[in-house]
Chain A
Amino acid sequence: MEKQKSVPAFWGKEDWQAVWLGFIVILIACVAVLTKAFDFSAVKFSTWTLGEAAPKATPLGTQLGTWVFWRKLIVTFVTLGILFSIGVKLQGEKIKKYIPAFICLFVIALVVRMVSAEFTLNRYLEWAFWALLIGLLISNTVGVPNWLKPAIKTEFYIKTGLVIMGFSVLFSNIAKFGLYGLGIAWIVTPVVIIFMWWLGTKVLKIDNKPLVITLASATSVCGTSAAIATGAASGAKKDDLSIAISISIIFTILMMVFEPMIIKAAGMTQLMGGALIGGTVDSTGAVVLAGNALGPEAEQAAVLVKSIQNILIGFIAFFVAVFFATRVEKTSEKKVGASEIWTRFPKFILGFFAASLIASFLIQPIFGSGSVKEINTVLDQYKNWCFVLAFTSIGLDTNFKELAKQMHGGKVLWLYIIGQVFNIALTLFAVWFLLSGVVFDIPVLDLFK
């Protein structure tokens, strides 16, 4: 993949390229938002509906009939097309083959984004799911033509998307719920990861370690985003990521609806219930909705705990990368030296951290939370585009038989179920210990609603 020896690693290696490509997107977004000189927003389909009318739905025809939609589409295509083409060229591959393939992949990704904006589909299943499904349908029916294959660069798109995502992870959130939040989010999370690692590798004897750690972080941190980051850090294969994310997405639907019901039936306070939801439901959107089902205080507690958990993505990915470099990938009994760790270490994680630190300690204090929100609204779409390109690539490069093999005869499903039950039990204990008033004073939240 990285054939050109004359290009220095910083420009020619995929990991470093993800860092500088991500930072170019971040920089343009910051300039666009802070100076208001131009609109850098990426194209996004508004919610539309196939069936009965739904709130806030805009008919597809109306969306496609506006100039703004097409302008944003051109901006998105040109930005990503140019950046990824430069990257591919510096990796030593033929740009003439990449460009037509990228155009086709972009069109498929556009269809994915359109489908995943449909009201019911969009409310429950993430774009990652639809990207995988549509990619799988193409590859397992009509097949993938050879000329399209140069654009299938899953890891490149994922790593770039992760660097962009780093800007949205605000480290300042760590103290937003004091030691209560830290206790619920940070004490429990690594314990659950270690428990699932032990269960998966020692008890269930799943030999695919990247799959175990990817599923463990999806369960204990925040679903899809954590799975993508940890999967990339551990060198997980495309099938591992597909399995982990699909399981997490399906269970999130169930937990979003049933967890608040059970909490209500148990008579738990809103504060405790919200914190429990924030610590256990995988996706952030589902956390907000499930918290809202209990009440405003529960919603805010849920958001606070989840926002702390989301900080963990980078740190977990960092430790996973070090662990895999020093323990899983080592070939001899000798201790792995610092230079060897550095060689094996996925450099895009440094880009993720740098983006997070710049947003937390530079942009937010200087320009304020409102500006950071505006910048992240722009960046969120570019991140989504990178991930949709990646997951469509995964689908195009996978067949159903390979995917079924990765379930390891159902062991992976049981790893998730047992791990999630352990996660809920441990979080429940932490919530009771910290927020019930039995041991510590009950914290008071200022509600904004």
Chain B
Amino acid sequence: MVTILVVVAILVCALWIMGHRLGLVPGYDFGAGAYYYADIPGYENIEKEGVYRTGVPYWVHVVLFIGWGWLMYRLWVWIDKRKK
């Protein structure tokens, strides 16, 4: 019963938002459902020059990225092996 009420409330809320066109930006030709990076104004500038300067070398990011990913994979396997 609670689940059904939650589902109804969520759907009503979503329809109300759509009906009132809430959350949209007039200058942007996309919404939650239709977008692409290429549509985001100024995105090529973020790609090209960046908006944040860091002194940390690129390879450090890659090492941390791969290291954390491997660690989390091992954690996932360990949790999955446990019975409860």
Contacts and interface: CB of A to CB of B under 8 A. Distances in A.
Given A289-B31, A323-B76, A410-B3, A300 B84 contact: no
Given A168-B37, A253-B32, A288-B35, A187 B68 contact: yes
Given A186-B68, A254-B13, A254-B14, A448 B46 contact: yes
A254 B17 contact: yes
A368 B58 CA distance: 19
Nearest to A374: B38
Contacts of B38: 373, 376-377, 380
A158 B48 CA distance: 30
A289 B56 contact: no
A288 B53 CA distance: 21
Interface in B16-61: 17-18, 21-26, 28-54, 56, 58, 60-61
Nearest to B58: A175
- Chain B: interface size category: 35 or more
Nearest to B20: A257
A122 B31 contact: yes
Nearest to B38: A377
Interface string A276-302: 000000011110111011000000100
B37 A376 contact: yes
A364 to B, nearest CB: 8
Contacts of B25: 289, 292-293
Interface stretch (A84-92, A194-202, A338-346): A194-202
A124 interface: yes
Interface of A: 47, 55-56, 116-117, 120-127, 129, 168, 170, 173-182, 186-187, 190-191, 193-194, 197-198, 201-202, 249-254, 256-257, 283-286, 288-290, 292-293, 300, 303-304, 307, 315, 319, 322-323, 327, 364, 368-370, 372-373, 376-377, 380, 409-410, 413-414, 417, 443-449
